[in-house]
A and B are shown apart, each in its own frame.
Chain A
Amino acid sequence: MPYCVKCGVELDNSAKKCVLCNTKVMMELPDEIPPYPKEKLEISQLNRGYFSILLTMILLVPNLACLVINLIYTPGVYWMYYVFGGSLLLWMIFIFPMAIKKKRPLLHIFLLFLSATLYLLLIALALSGMRWFLLIALPICITVMSLLYLIILIVIKKKPGKLKTVSISLIAVIIICLVTDGVIDYYIYSDIQLSWSYIVAASIIPVIIGLVLLAGNKKLQNELIKKLHI
């Protein structure tokens, strides 16, 4: 029978080490039946499929009601677009992640982008404002989507620390500001003259540099946590 030399307790014949202190068992023993099997009981998940169908039905009710009202009272004027597009967006944000089994953030982002763009397109159609859709909404949507896509990809693949993730996100904020500034300029003046986005960028860049430096310095981090902890 094996004993732990540190704790003095007797161990099970199947034990490879002492659970109390992690000391390895030196004795060579034939394999024995361990006290517990390896298999774990998995807990069944909430019936998500059923739940998401239920919520979808609930969401469908106002849509159908609005469609009927729209067709009867204001034929020709299709304000139904707003309700439908909004519902689609809601569905994508809340119900879609519930309906799928595995977490798939990249697919979710892409579908969110599609539905958000579609919603804006519907509004643009209803207001006959294709120009602002093409010049402002679409570029901003594409930028936000691709940046989010990129950040999630980096976080999943490279697993940067908290500080680096914040830095990357801040860079994304700068890019979004620049693009927004640019497309608005182009929409109004048909010419790109960046203005306020410079100020945003100038104030954020030092923060990013600070964070990157801090991320590389464990000692400084420790010091800051010590002095600033709440």
Chain B
Amino acid sequence: MLRKIEEKKYRHWFKLDNAAKIYPAANTRRWSGMFRLSVTLNEKIDPVILQEALVATIKRFPSFNIRMGKGIFWYYFESNIRKRLQVKPDINNPCAPIRWKDNNGFLLRVFYYDKRIAIDFFHSLTDGTGAMVFLKTLTARYLTLKGYEIPTGEGILDVEEKPDKEEYEDSFVKYANSRQRGRPKEPKAYHMKGTGLDDLDISIITGIVSLEKIKQLAKEHHATITEYLAAILLYSFYKQKEKEGLYKKPTRIAVSIPVNLRNYFKSNTKRNFSTFLNPGIDTILGEYTMEEMLRQIQYFMKANLNDKVLNAMMTQNVILERNLFIRIVPLFIKNFIMSLAHDTIGYRPITTVISNIGIVTVPPEMKELVNRFEFILGPAKIRTPYLAVVSYEDTLVLNFTSKIQETDIERTFFTYLIKQGIPVKIESNRE
């Protein structure tokens, strides 16, 4: 709820949504729940104009124009209109940890580098869908200031317009009403071994492929792009597990796939509104072929991707936060328990994550000005690579992020694509 938006006397504030609550608790000096969206244009970025565009854009997004506040029982977001969010030159370690006091209190960081505009978002603010609207609106505003005529629509908001209440509603609270709570019990999943990087470092390995070719390949296997890429990722971890011992416990390999709940419940929120499904295989049953892994993922997705099952999953969490006994626990104790839960239970049922925010569309006027979009997930606290996917026109960008030195998963993944006849271009922030 946004209180007193008109009245300047009070700073308006609102509660963190259900998915947002875990991130400040799990935040440490070494790790923050972050993700990055970036756009590469066809011309060099002008930081002065970008700054101007940012000032106009952030006003349009009240749920982004905030800083973190600490209450006795919960964190809250408080409007941060008096401070200014500054654009900065890009960094080598995207998704670096965030501190509440840094960056004038803002929970997002805007960078520029050569032809790229990049934004690191703290996950409490929003999910990939909400963040993409912000990036597209900022980019459109930037291009408008550069003198191009860019219309609104296609996920680009008019920055002059007043924000609609629906855009910053907590959709979890609105829709979670299932009588069934929670998800079926999930066994402990395999976590790969790896050598950690230095605290500040993050490994980013980007693969750029043709969307059309991947689409074709997925179609041949009667699968969606996400399912097909998830299967290759699962295959890569399967190959890794083979090296470490296929029958060594835990034997389940599970890939966590975030699900955009806006596709199943009518919501226009720019805040978090997603959950995740964890399909996978159990190698105790024997050896798997790539095709079998793909089928396992598909069956699981088909069985669970519907509003009823998804509602039950989110109701579980919403019920928890409504519980009076949980609510009256002081924040520092909640923090302690939640961070512990995040570090243990949170990673227990998953081996890795693949997040696909799908195909980004822009108005025709913007098309020839934009080269590509990129999506980067912040690294896991455990030592495993995560995969983030986004497509634009014919460019599908696959981004692996991790805090480990080894690149075996990435190599298996990309050479698999090469073997299927798909050319891959690799970029990285590594030396």
Contacts and interface: CB of A to CB of B under 8 A. Distances in A.
Interface in B392-431: 407, 410-411, 414-415, 418, 423-430
A9 B426 contact: yes
Contact of B89 (A11, A19, A33, A39): A39
A39 B415 contact: no
B418 A7 contact: yes
A139 B205 CA distance: 60
Contacts of B200: 40-43
A37 B99 CA distance: 22
Given A43-B97, A43-B200, A9 B207 contact: yes
Interface in A8-56: 8-12, 15, 18-21, 33, 35-46
A35 B204 CA distance: 10
A35 B429 contact: yes
A20 B91 contact: no
Interface residues of B, number: 34
Nearest to A20: B411
A19 B418 contact: no
A40 to B, nearest CB: 5
Contact of B426 (A19, A43, A44): A19
Contact of B418 (A8, A18, A37, A42): A8
B426 A11 contact: yes
B92 interface: yes
A41 B418 CA distance: 34
Given A37-B89, A41-B91, A19 B430 contact: yes
Nearest to B93: A40
B113 A41 contact: no
Interface residues of A, number: 25
A10 B425 contact: yes
Contacts of B204: 36
B418 A43 contact: no
B29 interface: yes
A12 B208 CA distance: 11
A41 B200 CA distance: 8
Contacts, number: 88
A39 B201 CA distance: 11
B231 interface: no
A20 B89 contact: no
Nearest to B96: A41
Contacts of A42: 200
A151 to B, nearest CB: 27
A36 B90 contact: yes
Contact of B423 (A10, A15, A37, A38): A10
B167 to A, nearest CB: 30
A208 to B, nearest CB: 32
Contacts of A4: 426
B428 A43 contact: no
B407 A40 contact: no
B426 A40 contact: no
Interface string B190-208: 0000000000110011110
Question: A interface, by DSSP: helix, strand, loop or mixed?
Answer: loop
Interface in B71-119: 89-94, 96-97, 99, 101-102, 113-114
A37 B426 contact: no
Contact of A37 (B102, B113, B410): B113
B410 A20 contact: yes
B415 to A, nearest CB: 5
A118 to B, nearest CB: 35
A93 to B, nearest CB: 23
Contacts of B89: 37, 39
Nearest to B40: A35
A216 B210 CA distance: 56
Given A7-B411, A19-B430, A43-B200, A36 B425 contact: no
B427 A21 contact: no
Interface string B10-40: 0000000000000000000100000000000
A20 B425 contact: no
Nearest to A46: B29
B193 to A, nearest CB: 15
B427 A12 contact: yes
A36 B95 CA distance: 13
B429 A36 contact: yes
A40 B411 contact: no
B90 A37 contact: yes
A39 B411 contact: no
Nearest to B200: A40
B92 A36 contact: yes
B243 to A, nearest CB: 16
Contact of B428 (A8, A15, A40): A15
B144 to A, nearest CB: 26
Contact of B29 (A11, A15, A43): A43
A18 B428 CA distance: 9
Given A9-B424, A40-B92, A20 B97 contact: no
A39 B94 CA distance: 11
A44 B99 contact: yes
A115 B189 CA distance: 52
B428 A19 contact: yes
Given A7-B411, A11-B426, A35 B205 contact: no
15 contacts: A7-B415, A9-B415, A12-B427, A15-B426, A19-B205, A19-B428, A19-B430, A20-B407, A21-B411, A35-B206, A37-B89, A37-B91, A37-B113, A40-B91, A41-B96
Given A40-B200, A43-B99, 6 more contacts: A7-B411, A20-B411, A21-B411, A37-B90, A41-B96, A43-B200
Closest 4 CB pairs of A and B: A36-B429, A20-B411, A10-B425, A35-B427
